């Protein structure tokens, strides 16, 4: 078993708005192991990006607040450390790639200046050496003519090129963990495939762990080692890619997988999960999925299920499953 690099424990994040308190994350548990690519899937608004930003403490405060919980990175609690230490970790050890490659680069500086700046700061090298590193990194992300790219402004690059430049920039600092928040959502499908293969190749080669956030199950299946499924601010299932797709346990995961259109099947109507994602100001009591669940039963609307291990490395938060050997304590807790 490889060691745990990032461990998120019972993390709750709340946003205090005029309409009420948004419980964006509620007791989320997640671990990223060394060298793995962990996928994080869920619908829009289920808290994926909030989770990603919480790791680097990038939640805007106000209105957001990390309410409870701990995030350990190599044994250190990120939520308790000094801002100085945190700044050192940001970029040096944990890097992040954002959703919108269009706005991730400062429009008034040349790509080269921005990349060199980051490299010079993090690797403590002179500008000439930094330039060499940048060119080398751009070559590694298969950027055509890296020398010319460095002297261009961000708006002169295409979306795919910008995202590759961002990957190059973030990986040039040799982080141990890369958080990729839907890095390919804004790109078209062919470019998406290209960027993903570059991301996978580079992170595997450099032994960088990745927390890969997406709402695209196809991308997750292709790229990741393990998957965590989120629903309405909670983790509902964590498993290896193989287990999750061959044997999904949580009714929500099953619904998601059933909703993927398949080429080898003739189906007139796309399978859907009825209902919509609940608002997080007044989320449903108990299991947040129960109003839409096909297997809803007695304790679901009152008792929140905990993540339990149903098979080696396969955790589910659902009343349908009991941890092997441990009695179901739903009624006693209630």
Partner 1 sequence: MKRIRKEREWQIRELMFTIKLLSKNPSAVAGFVIIATMVFIAVGAPYIAPYDPIKISLRERLSPPSPVHIFGTDEMGRDILSRVMHGARISLRIGVLVIAIAGSLGAAIGAVAGYLGKQADNIIMRIMDVILSFPPLVLAMALAAALGPNLNNAILAVAFVMIPKFARMVRGEALAVKEKQFIAAARASGAGSLWIIFHHIIPNCFSSVIILATLLLGETILIAASLSFIGLGAQPPTPEWGAMISVGRKFLMDQWWYPTFPGLFILMTVIGFNILGDALRDIFDPRIRR
- Using CB under 8 A as the criterion, which residues of the chain lie in contact with partner 1 when the complex forms? 53, 56, 58, 62, 87-92, 94-96, 98-100, 103-109, 117-118, 121-122, 128, 131, 151, 153, 155-156, 166, 169-170, 173, 179
Token pair listed for 218:
């196809």
Q: What six digits make up the tokens of 91?
A: 């970029």
Instruction: For the CB of residue 197, give the shortest distance to partner 1 in the complex, in Å.
Output: 23
Smallest gap from residue 31 Cβ to partner 1 (A):
21
Sheet holding 226-231, edge to edge: 94-97, 177-181, 209-214, 37-41, 226-231, 234-240, 314-316, 308-311
Structure tokens at 136: 């080398």
> CA–CA separation, 134 vs 169, rounded Å?
8
Nearest distance from C-beta of residue 42 to partner 1, angstroms: 21
Question: Which C-beta is closer to partner 1: that of 151 or that of 158?
Answer: 151
DSSP strands (E only) in the chain: 4-17, 20-33, 37-41, 64-73, 76-77, 94-97, 177-181, 209-214, 226-231, 234-240, 308-311, 314-316
For residue 96, what are the CA distances in angstroms to 24, 89, 91, 168? 20, 12, 8, 12
Closer residue to partner 1, CB minimum distance, 59 or 317: 59
Closer to partner 1 by CB, 151 or 246: give it: 151
Q: By C-beta, is 27 or 176 nearer to partner 1?
A: 176
Give least dist CB 92 to partner 1, A: 6
Which is closer to partner 1, CB of 165 or CB of 317? 165
DSSP per-residue string spanning 6-56: EEEEEEEEEEEETTEEEEEEEEEEEEEETT-EEEEE--TTSSHHHHHHHHT
For partner 1, which is the closer residue by CB, 104 or 253?
104
Nearest approach, Cβ of residue 130 and partner 1 (Å): 11
For residue 30, the minimal CB distance to partner 1 (Å) is: 18
């Amino acid at each position: 078993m490889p060691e745990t690099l990032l461990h998120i424990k019972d993390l709750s994040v709340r946003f205090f708005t005029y309409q009420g308190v948004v419980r964006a994350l509620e007791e989320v548990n997640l671990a990223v192991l060394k060298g793995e690519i962990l996928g994080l899937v869920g619908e829009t608004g289920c808290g994926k990006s909030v989770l990603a930003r919480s790791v680097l403490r990038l939640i805007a405060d106000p209105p957001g607040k990390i309410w409870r919980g701990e995030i350990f990175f190599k044994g250190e609690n990120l939520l308790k450390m000094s801002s100085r230490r945190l700044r050192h970790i940001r970029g040096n050890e944990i890097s992040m790639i954002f959703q919108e490659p269009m706005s991730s680069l400062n429009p008034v500086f040349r790509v080269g200046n921005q990349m060199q700046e980051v490299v010079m700061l993090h690797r403590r090298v002179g500008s000439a050496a930094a330039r060499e590193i940048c060119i080398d990194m751009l070559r590694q992300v298969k950027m055509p003519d890296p020398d010319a790219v460095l002297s261009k402004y961000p708006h002169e690059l295409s979306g795919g090129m910008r995202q590759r430049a961002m990957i190059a920039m973030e990986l040039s600092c040799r982080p141990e963990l890369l958080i990729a928040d839907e890095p390919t959502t804004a790109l078209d499908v062919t470019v998406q495939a290209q960027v993903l293969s570059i991301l996978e190749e580079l992170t595997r080669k450099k032994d960088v762990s990745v927390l890969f956030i997406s709402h695209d199950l196809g991308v997750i299946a292709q790229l990741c080692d393990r998957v965590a499924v989120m629903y309405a601010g909670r983790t509902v299932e964590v498993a290896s890619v193989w287990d999750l797709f061959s044997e999904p346990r949580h009714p929500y995961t099953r619904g998601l997988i059933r909703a993927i259109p398949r080429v080898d099947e003739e189906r007139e109507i796309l399978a859907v999960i009825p209902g919509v994602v609940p608002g997080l100001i007044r989320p449903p009591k108990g299991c947040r999925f129960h109003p839409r669940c096909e297997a809803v039963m007695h304790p679901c609307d009152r008792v929140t299920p905990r993540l339990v291990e149903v098979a080696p490395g396969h955790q589910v938060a659902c009343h349908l499953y009991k941890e092997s050997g441990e009695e179901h304590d739903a009624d006693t807790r209630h």
